[in-house]
Amino acid sequence: MEPKTVDEYVESLEGWQQDVVKTLRGLILKTVPDAKESFKWSQPVYEVNGPFCHIKAFSKHVNFGFWRGGELDDPLGLLQGMGDKMRHVGLTGLKDIRKKAFQDFLRAAADLNRAKGDPTSSPER
């Protein structure tokens, strides 16, 4: 059965993937308490004035992605990706969660959406 909610998505995962997704989910909701959580594009999506981050589990890693990742300050070089906008961090276990750096990304990504609007519908896209 395909998940239709974030809770169903989390429950559909097993082992380290479920642990990573649960931890990221909690970090997002604690760091950006006004974020709206939804299940879109087959993944948990978090929105403030449009989507700013998402979580997607794959067979060997979990992507923690940012719509405006190309605009985020990344002093530790954690963000991966080549496009103008999207960036992600690939996680293979709880050990890869960098709480402070991820909180900085989350706050900045939400602030960019507050300032610039929805990244999925703005003309700058």
Q: What is the CATH number of the domain that holds 26?
A: 3.90.1150.200
pLDDT at 59 over 60: yes
Query: Does 44 reside within a domain?
Result: yes
Question: Are residues 32 and 106 in contact, defined by beta-carbon separation less than 8 angstroms?
Answer: yes
Length of the chain measured in residues: 125
Q: Give the total number of structural domains in the chain.
A: 1
User: pLDDT tens across 1-33, in order?
Assistant: 789 999 999 999 999 999 999 999 999 999 999
Q: Give the Cα separation of 117 and 110 in Å (integer).
A: 10
Average pLDDT over residues 50-70: 97
Question: Is there a domain that residue 1 lies in?
Answer: no
- For residue 33, give its domain range: 6-113
Residue with structure tokens 């991820």? 102
pTM of the model: 0.93
Are 7 and 29 contacting, i.e. CB atoms less than 8 angstroms apart?
A: no
So what's the pLDDT on residue 123?
A: 60
**Whether 48 contacts 34, CB under 8 Å:** yes
Asked if 97 and 104 touch (Cβ cutoff 8 Å), the reply is no
Question: Is 67 among the domain residues?
Answer: yes
